[in-house]
Amino acid sequence: MRLINAATLRFEEFFGASIPIYAILSHTWENEEVTFEEFLKPHSTTKDGYIKIKSTCDVALRRGLEYVWIDTCCINKSSSAELTEAINSMFRWYERCELCIAYLVDVAPTGDDPEGFGSSRWFTRGWTLQELLAPHEVDFFSSDWTPIGTRGKLAGPISRITGVDEVYLVTTKRGSRFSLLKQASVAERMSWAARRITTREEDIAYCLLGIFGVNMPLIYGEGMNAFIRLQEEILKNCFDPTLLSWNASS
């Protein structure tokens, strides 16, 4: 697992039991995000995305965490093998993190209105669904990095915004989230993603792999056949008749 050392802002790689505790960023991609290749070069510090990386590291250090994982730069997306491994591992990486930092770039400091963050684009994206559900807890931050609150404390508003029952939003022990989520039927889990969107057509299936506990190769260009393959993989793991009532446009 490739992590950023929050103090040095340099990559370090870890494998298996040597992986340290880490913070992880959940966010929506904006202009000038820093890629893996760019992070290795000095000029990346002039991009807006670098400020987000630095701010994430600052939050982690204040919480006593030395390492951070961020999807924009910690995955070498020029390697199809690495991208496939990352997407199939992502739910587990979020589930095992010590701290999930949800940065809502389009939300001003909320003051006395904690529900004011509900209009954020973060709540409409496909990939952020697992980022909401997989960590044992999520800490939300506004555009200027002011803390908004945690998923557990904001479970009521988040449930109304997302349609996810509050029982699946409570704080849990680290690494135990999938055991909780699989108590929901396939149809219920599918419904959580029904109004979410992704930039690439196939990602509406790929972003759900971890929520259903399945793995499959990525075939960008296959279109909505990806959703059919997702359904087939779900059926291999468990037969749930509620799946048959769902299609990609539900």
Report pLDDT digits (tens) over 34-43. 999 999 987 7
Q: CA–CA separation, 44 vs 30, rounded Å? A: 15
pLDDT score of 243: 60
Supply 214's token pair.
Answer: 């399945």
Alpha-carbon distance values, 207 to 57, 118, 160, 176, 203 (Å): 25, 21, 22, 19, 6
CB atoms within 10 A of CB 92: 15
CB contact set of 189 (below 8 Å; sequence gap of 6+): 181, 208, 211, 212
Provide the pLDDT for residue 71: 97
**CA distance linking residue 219 with residue 242, whole number of Å:** 26
Residue 135: name the closest of 236, 21, 4, 2 by CA: 21
The dihedral over CA atoms of 223, 228, 234, 236, expressed in degrees to the nearest 10, equals -120
pLDDT of residue 242: 65
Q: Are 65 and 23 in contact (CB under 8 A)?
A: yes
pTM above 0.85, yes or no: yes
CA distance 105 to 88: 26
DSSP 114: G
Collect the ranges in the chain with pLDDT lower than 70.
Answer: 110-115, 239-250
What are residue 147's DSSP bridge partners? 141
Q: Residue 9: which region, alpha, beta or left (left: phi > 0; alpha: psi -120 to 50)?
A: left
pLDDT of residue 174: 83
Using DSSP bridges, classify how beta strands 23-26 and 99-103 pair: parallel, antiparallel or unpaired: parallel
